[in-house]
Chains A and B, each alone.
Chain A
Amino acid sequence: MITSCDHASPRTRAALCGLPPRAGLGLKTGHFREVLGSLPDIGFFEVHAENYMVAGGPFHHFLGLIREAYPLSLHGVGLSIGAEGPLDVQHLKRLSTLIERYQPQSFSEHLAWSSHGPVFLNDLLPLAYDTPTLDRVCEHIDQVQNTLQRPMLLENPATYLAFERSTIDEAEFIREVIRRSGCGLLLDVNNIYVSCINHQRDPLTYLDALPLHAVGEIHLAGFAEDADSLGVRLLIDDHGAPVDQAVWSLYRQALERIGPVATLIERDNQVPAFNVLMAEAQQADELLRCAGGRP
């Protein structure tokens, strides 16, 4: 991998080399000027692809400048890979254009659906895990990778309910998607914790059942707590709080298994000051160093 990376043309090098094994941050528009002004020591930035599918203006201005200084991860939230219907070809074209423009080190999307027919629901919705869904998800990922001419990472979901008709265990489903499509895994440790609490699974057993050899990036985030109709603790993946201790601890276990991998601190709600996010990123960097990353 390292030699092919070194000898690749600049155009494909970004995709082949991937993100550096360091902590990164989600780039918030309110932090544009601070990032450019202070050029913080951070491994990479991640943006939501859909926010940059606009003709011009400040978003492109700032992302262009920041991209010159940092590796970039492009994270899609609107492709609806798990949809029953066909993928939105227009949307794939927009993604392709964006990737061409910014040459990100990584492109990732979710194991979820968010559109039905022409309607976009703006949430990452759960899938029934059965053979027809597996076939469809693999076909869609093939189509994405063929169109974009690069491998993508697929993120394991946070879910709140299950389908009676599911016949395949979630981790096994993901393993099979990755085996058949050749895509990588975006290991969202917060999603593992949230889903395992919500479905009374053991997080470590679930982690070990995932295809950890294929992990290309890790996500860490905070969750909110609620309760279901029985008053049982229900965790909600709201990205609105600091990373929980239980998630840090699961992250440590993940790093022991897979070694240092690019790790994003995700924050989408109640976004704090940039230095607060930097402190969380430094905490992740510390663990990455312990796991054998940069000296």
Chain B
Amino acid sequence: MSTQAVFSAALLDTGLPCPDGLCSVNGADPASRFAVYRNNVQRSLSNALVDSYPVVMQLVGEEFFRAMAGVFIQNHPPRSPLMSDYGSDLADFISGFEPASSVPYLADVARLERLRTQAYHAADIAPLSQERIAAAFADQEGLSRLQIGLHPSLHVLDSAFAVVDIWAAHQHDATLAGINLDQAQHALVLRNGLEVEVFAVDPGASQFIGQLKAGLSLTEALESAEAFDLSQTLALLISRQAITHLHHKVSP
């Protein structure tokens, strides 16, 4: 193995010995100096996860979170120099991480926090003006083929837990008291201007928005979703500047 291969492996796997061929001018054990690099790597990656998943950390406490991060880092080191992407797969890891199984909603909270980071950095696309939207909505002939394009920051998350309430509680008092944790919730995450916003929407609204994102037309998306309040959902999307395109689907 090359020098950097050995060095790199020993940085990530804290069970490996300090690599050979290292020295210090004063004759100190090179391992005590190698430890600085190892701790830089472990700590900086752990810090990146702490920064990306603040609510997950509050839920389980810093000690547990950092210990879990240590296992994650060893098994999922970064594959890109862009640290804002690091830990995209933490939620899936948490799902299979037995010591966290006593907090069954933890993975979905991680998913919500990841969607917020993605929304924060998503591409900038100008929303359509309300006049343009009003004109398209008034065109009765075109309605059956109308496709609604949504902002790239927008995503929905369907959870069997009260994921929005749990997350929101940590923006204020950081207590779960009074929350029915097993109440399924559907999160809508989007960036409105410079602010990332999180909404709880009805199951039908979540299905409808998901289908619009998948490219279905307004009427197709309506047909495939269970009952929900269409007016309120569209009003929400318009007022949060989430509608960026309107076009008419060409019939096959």
Contacts and interface: CB of A to CB of B under 8 A. Distances in A.
Q: Touching in the complex, A and B, CB below 8 A?
A: yes
Interface of A: 50-51, 53-61, 77-80, 83-84, 88, 91, 113-123, 125-126, 128, 160-165, 198-200, 226, 228-230, 232, 234, 236
A200 B36 CA distance: 18
A232 B22 contact: no
Interface string B121-138: 111110000000000000
Given A57-B122, A60-B124, A118 B27 contact: no
Nearest to B27: A230
Interface string B51-83: 000000000000000000000000001111111
A77 B48 CA distance: 15
A229 B32 contact: yes
Interface residues of B, number: 49
Contacts of A200: 25-26
B31 A56 contact: no
Given A53-B82, A122-B48, A59 B29 contact: no
B2 to A, nearest CB: 5
A120 B25 contact: no
A120 B79 contact: yes
Interface stretch (B37-45, B176-184, B227-235): B37-45
B161 interface: no
B21 A121 contact: no
19 contacts: A54-B82, A56-B121, A56-B122, A57-B121, A78-B81, A83-B4, A84-B3, A116-B7, A119-B79, A123-B40, A125-B11, A160-B34, A164-B22, A199-B25, A226-B36, A228-B26, A228-B33, A234-B36, A236-B36
A161 B23 contact: yes
B67 to A, nearest CB: 19
Given A51-B84, A200-B26, A230-B27, A122 B124 contact: no
B203 interface: no
